[in-house]
Chains A and B, each alone.
Chain A
Amino acid sequence: MGRRLSVSDSKHKRSRRSKWIVFGLIAFVLYGLAVRTTDVDFAQVRSEIRQTQLTRILRALAHPDLVAYERDEVTIEALLQVPCAGVSPAGDTSGTYIELTPTCASPGQEVVIHGYNFEANSDGIARFIPDSEIPVTIRLEPFSAGEDGEFEITIKTPDRESSKPQQVLAVTSQPVGTWLNRASVVDEDTGETLLSPRFSQNGIDTLDKIIETVFMALLATTVGTLLALPLSFIAARNLMRDISMTITGLATILISIPFGLLGGIQVARVINNALSGISSNSWLLAVLVTVIPLAIIFAVRAVFNEDDTHEKSTTERIQQGTVAAVSGVAGIFWLGALAQLLKAIGHPLPPQAQQGFWDFVPNFIYVLGDVGELTLVVITVLVGLRVAAKLASRLANTLTSGLVKGSLDIVNLPLAAVAGSVSAVFVMRVVDWFYNYRNPVITLWAPLAIGALLGAFLALRNRTLGTVNVGLLSYYAARTVFNTLRSIEPLIMVIVAVVWVGFGPFAGSIALALHTTASLAKLYSEQVENIDQGPVEAIRATGATRLQTIIYGVVPQITPPYLSFTMYRWDINVRMSTIIGFAGGGGIGFLLSQNINLLEYRDAAAQMLAIAIVVATMDWVSARLRERLV
């Protein structure tokens, strides 16, 4: 027994060893190919030219162009005795000074000028002032100070003899003022008073753009969160898997979709038309905006009970239905009126036209009105779809109630066929929009026939089940859409957005918002899937509707992770919006890419520094906030 074991043991060992050999071979091939295709070349790394270039760029990056100084000419003097006559003059050795060696020389003799405490890397020139009636200067040699602010040049003593010591000057320019004691200098060309030191133009632009960047991220995160919130429920498996529908119900709802869509758009158009008639009359709009909600509340209070304990009577149903319908339309109308009112109060401000700080207020009001107008269309279409679906399912119920299984098939088959046709034509209309076929066979007749066949086939196949799991279908559809959208980098999305709305931060915000929606919807939905099912089950057991179950059983559980993910996403968006400008999406990336392309590395360094500061701050703030909230 023990022997058998040892045999199988060594066999096992051998197979494990050969496994490692295979792994090693695979790794060798993979990394070999990787090195080849990525052009790894260490000769470049060692090359002296490359290294100097690297030093230059790193030094440039270490000196971000943030501050501008006005410069002033500075003269540093030392005395030189030509020729030597006993006493050699001593020089001043405090602050910026130069030292001559020797301090006396005969004409033509070499003298070394050593400068100390000059501005690092500054240039200048050495001059000789002879002792003469006429003011003349003799140009000696140019110098440039090193990193340590020192220089050393050798000059030839000019042929100007005198009994007095004569002046040797080092003339250079130095920045004026310090941050504590700023100097103001009048520009000779423009007559403007400039402060020195001050933020350089590049520094000001950087600040401007980094603020733009943070706001882009803020907008994108907000919009993305708002859109992702409802969508995340569709992408949560545990909420969706139990939703199933009878074939009849599904077919009628599919048929109802185009009607709901067109109906919704039509209603939105009618409401917008009605509103555009009174859009100039702000007072009327204001009255509408205040009166409509009051009327709705009054009507709803009158016919709806707070609890729904008893079976509703027919008159009650009719009353409630009417009130619900009328207040629904009135509610949409109210939103439209509010939007028009906001647009009337505010006024749009073209980009770059900001004058006073508070100019953003009317602009914001106007934009809010615009958002309202857009939302109105979306809401109306959604309501249209919902109403159509509700009517359709009601119809389906009356159609199928009391039908036995066999005759149900007779109803289902044609219904499913029609549903298939309608959906296929609908899909082909969308495809046609992209490809512009201009051929009714492709856009109408073929989908009509194929859809009908497909619908009938599916109805036949699912006959035994009788129900279709719509929830899972929409779950998979939503997941696919989110994953696809998420896999497209915002850097690519922004290209489309730029074509749509033009260069600038708006395009960047759109791209980021879209990406945020997709990824937050996915992250959120995973949080929904992770919740404790127990409380949800308990709430369901009380007779709560699906909506109530979500509000009381799901929402309290997902609030902390949702907040945390939103903040995390804002953090990511700040980071992403710093580079989105590379593709024309505004923000600091635009400036950065420009400066890199112009080889202005010191300017680029300022932007990189700004990005680093903002990202680090965001990181810290969001971590802190998450800690506090969760």
Chain B
Amino acid sequence: MLKVEHLTKVYDNGTVALEDVSFEVEPGTFLAVIGLSGSGKSTLLRCINRLVEPTEGKIYWNGEDITIANQEQLRRIRRKIGMVFQHFNLVDRSKVTTNVLSGRLGYTNPSLSLLNRFSKVDMSRAVAELERVGLTDRARNRADSLSGGQQQRVGIARAMMQDPEMLLADEPVASLDPVLAHSIMQYLEDINQDSDVTVLCSLHFLDLVHRYAKSVIALNDGKLMFQGTPEEIDDAKFKEIYGKEAERVG
């Protein structure tokens, strides 16, 4: 259970990215976060695992307040929250396996990491995760030798290494073509349904939202405009979220 209360984020330069956002997410939900570019979707997702420090407000997850967690607690919280990024954010020069294994860092003794080592269990887990995304044969390649879709699959494998209870996906398909977008979204759907992982996914295209999300929140200029099911987004709501001049496409 994720509960966001009165979340506000003001960046150092004065930009108000989020303003008094409150919502709840039931465990196992596939929640889409929609809104225009710059509406605060990324900031919202990053506040949840505190890659961005919230200015005000509370985020409760399984009863624990994430916003006041110390380093040690934050490590334990973060490792249960996987994250997938628009630009994949793989370490280009590292091998695919290393990228996948790095999802395990939250569980690895830091001094062991000094020696660049992972346990045998983690190694076999990485093999399994790569198999799940169908990239077993690319394991030894450098991450930047992969295509965009493949890189995102590595990103998903990395997140799944964390054995997450929740997955934050920050526009995971925005840099991919429509065919690849569906394949990536299907991976996320599988993760949501088979592994019972809560997924928070920011999306641009409404058809993807209708196709995959069970529930939607919409942001406009940092404010929460809508919360409900995809079916509830009618033309009026749409104009409210995306502005009066917006046209529906797709």
Residues on A lying within 8 angstroms of B by beta carbon are 304-309, 532, 534-535, 537-545, 547-548, 551-553, 556-557, 559-560
- Interface residue? B191 (CB, 8 A): no
- Interface residue? B195 (CB, 8 A): no
Instruction: List the B side residues contacting A548 at CB < 8 Å.
Output: 105, 108, 110, 113
B156-176: which have CB < 8 Å to A? 158, 161-162, 168
Stretch from B16-24, B81-89, B179-187 at the A interface: B81-89
- Interface residue? B122 (CB, 8 A): yes
- Interface residue? B147 (CB, 8 A): no
Cα separation A537 to B86 with both chains bound (whole Å): 12
Q: Are A537 and B51 in contact (CB under 8 A)?
A: yes
Given contacts A539-B105, A542-B102, A542-B105, contact A552 B158 (CB under 8 A): no
Q: Are A559 and B91 in contact (CB under 8 A)?
A: no
Closest to B121 in A: A307
Identify the interface centre among B102, B161, B162, B168: most chain A CB within 10 Å of its CB.
B102
Instruction: List the B side residues contacting A534 at CB < 8 Å.
Output: 85, 87-89
- Number of B residues near A (Cβ < 8 Å) is 45
Cα separation A307 to B113 with both chains bound (whole Å): 10
Q: List 8 A-B contacts (CB under 8 A).
A: A306-B109, A534-B85, A543-B78, A544-B75, A547-B110, A548-B110, A553-B102, A557-B93
Distance from B167 Cβ to chain A, minimum over Cβ atoms (Å): 11
Instruction: List the A side residues contacting B119 at CB < 8 Å.
Output: 306-307
A-B contacts besides A306-B112, A538-B83, A542-B158, 11 pairs, CB < 8 Å: A307-B107, A307-B108, A534-B87, A539-B102, A541-B83, A541-B168, A542-B105, A543-B106, A544-B75, A552-B113, A556-B94
Residues on B lying within 8 angstroms of A by beta carbon are 49, 51, 71, 74-83, 85, 87-94, 98, 102-114, 116, 119, 121-122, 155, 158, 161-162, 168
Instruction: List the A side residues contacting B112 at CB < 8 Å.
Output: 306
Identify the interface centre among B83, B89, B90, B119: most chain A CB within 10 Å of its CB.
B89
Distance from A548 Cβ to chain B, minimum over Cβ atoms (Å): 5
Candidates B81, B85, B122; contact of A538 at CB < 8 Å: B85
Given contacts A307-B119, A542-B102, A543-B162, contact A556 B91 (CB under 8 A): yes
Instruction: List the B side residues contacting A308 at CB < 8 Å.
Output: 107-109
Which 5 A-B pairs give the minimum distances between C-beta atoms? A543-B106, A543-B79, A543-B78, A544-B105, A534-B89
Distance from A630 Cβ to chain B, minimum over Cβ atoms (Å): 11
Q: Are A535 and B92 in contact (CB under 8 A)?
A: yes
Distance from A405 Cβ to chain B, minimum over Cβ atoms (Å): 14
Distance from A47 Cβ to chain B, minimum over Cβ atoms (Å): 62
Q: Are A537 and B113 in contact (CB under 8 A)?
A: no
Q: Are A551 and B87 in contact (CB under 8 A)?
A: no
Cα separation A282 to B44 with both chains bound (whole Å): 64
Q: Are A542 and B78 in contact (CB under 8 A)?
A: yes
Instruction: List the A side residues contacting B75 at CB < 8 Å.
Output: 543-545
Distance from B13 Cβ to chain A, minimum over Cβ atoms (Å): 14
Distance from B223 Cβ to chain A, minimum over Cβ atoms (Å): 25
Given contacts A306-B119, A541-B78, contact A553 B51 (CB under 8 A): no
Given contacts A541-B78, A542-B79, A543-B79, contact A551 B113 (CB under 8 A): yes
Closest to A553 in B: B91
Q: Are B162 and A544 in contact (CB under 8 A)?
A: no
Q: Are A541 and B98 in contact (CB under 8 A)?
A: no
Q: Are A538 and B113 in contact (CB under 8 A)?
A: no
Instruction: List the B side residues contacting A552 at CB < 8 Å.
Output: 91, 94, 98, 102, 105, 113
Instruction: List the B side residues contacting A556 at CB < 8 Å.
Output: 91-94
Instruction: List the A side residues contacting B109 at CB < 8 Å.
Output: 304-308
Q: Are B113 and A547 in contact (CB under 8 A)?
A: yes
Instruction: List the B side residues contacting A532 at CB < 8 Å.
Output: 92
Closest to A559 in B: B93
Instruction: List the B side residues contacting A305 at CB < 8 Å.
Output: 109
Given contacts A307-B119, A534-B85, A538-B85, contact A545 B110 (CB under 8 A): yes
Q: Are A537 and B108 in contact (CB under 8 A)?
A: no
Candidates B71, B94, B162; contact of A542 at CB < 8 Å: B162
Closest to A550 in B: B113
Distance from A504 Cβ to chain B, minimum over Cβ atoms (Å): 38
Closest to A244 in B: B53
Q: Are B85 and A542 in contact (CB under 8 A)?
A: no
Cα separation A306 to B119 with both chains bound (whole Å): 6
Q: Are A306 and B102 in contact (CB under 8 A)?
A: no
Instruction: List the B side residues contacting A551 at CB < 8 Å.
Output: 113-114, 116
Instruction: List the A side residues contacting B122 at CB < 8 Å.
Output: 307
Cα separation A553 to B102 with both chains bound (whole Å): 9
Closest to B71 in A: A545
Instruction: List the A side residues contacting B78 at CB < 8 Å.
Output: 540-543
Distance from B77 Cβ to chain A, minimum over Cβ atoms (Å): 8
Cα separation A548 to B109 with both chains bound (whole Å): 9
Instruction: List the B side residues contacting A544 at CB < 8 Å.
Output: 75, 102, 105-106, 113
Identify the interface centre among A538, A545, A551, A557: most chain B CB within 10 Å of its CB.
A538
Q: Are A535 and B162 in contact (CB under 8 A)?
A: no
Candidates B71, B80, B82, B89; contact of A537 at CB < 8 Å: B89
Closest to B161 in A: A542
Distance from A121 Cβ to chain B, minimum over Cβ atoms (Å): 62
Distance from B163 Cβ to chain A, minimum over Cβ atoms (Å): 9
Instruction: List the A side residues contacting B103 at CB < 8 Å.
Output: 542
Instruction: List the A side residues contacting B104 at CB < 8 Å.
Output: 307, 542
Cα separation A542 to B164 with both chains bound (whole Å): 10
Cα separation A553 to B122 with both chains bound (whole Å): 19
Cα separation A38 to B85 with both chains bound (whole Å): 61
Distance from B143 Cβ to chain A, minimum over Cβ atoms (Å): 9
Q: Are A547 and B81 in contact (CB under 8 A)?
A: no
Instruction: List the B side residues contacting A307 at CB < 8 Å.
Output: 104, 107-109, 119, 121-122
Q: Are A557 and B108 in contact (CB under 8 A)?
A: no
Closest to B103 in A: A542
Distance from B54 Cβ to chain A, minimum over Cβ atoms (Å): 14
Q: Are A535 and B90 in contact (CB under 8 A)?
A: yes
Cα separation A179 to B79 with both chains bound (whole Å): 74
Identify the interface centre among B109, B121, B168: most chain A CB within 10 Å of its CB.
B109
Q: Are B113 and A535 in contact (CB under 8 A)?
A: no
Distance from A447 Cβ to chain B, minimum over Cβ atoms (Å): 33
Closest to A300 in B: B111
Instruction: List the B side residues contacting A560 at CB < 8 Å.
Output: 93
Distance from A307 Cβ to chain B, minimum over Cβ atoms (Å): 5
Instruction: List the A side residues contacting B88 at CB < 8 Å.
Output: 534
Cα separation A525 to B116 with both chains bound (whole Å): 22
Distance from B17 Cβ to chain A, minimum over Cβ atoms (Å): 16
Cα separation A358 to B66 with both chains bound (whole Å): 64
Cα separation A548 to B77 with both chains bound (whole Å): 16
Cα separation A557 to B76 with both chains bound (whole Å): 26
Identify the interface centre among A308, A532, A547: most chain B CB within 10 Å of its CB.
A308
Cα separation A497 to B103 with both chains bound (whole Å): 49
Instruction: List the B side residues contacting A543 at CB < 8 Å.
Output: 74-80, 105-107, 162
Given contacts A307-B107, A557-B93, contact A541 B113 (CB under 8 A): no
Cα separation A613 to B51 with both chains bound (whole Å): 53
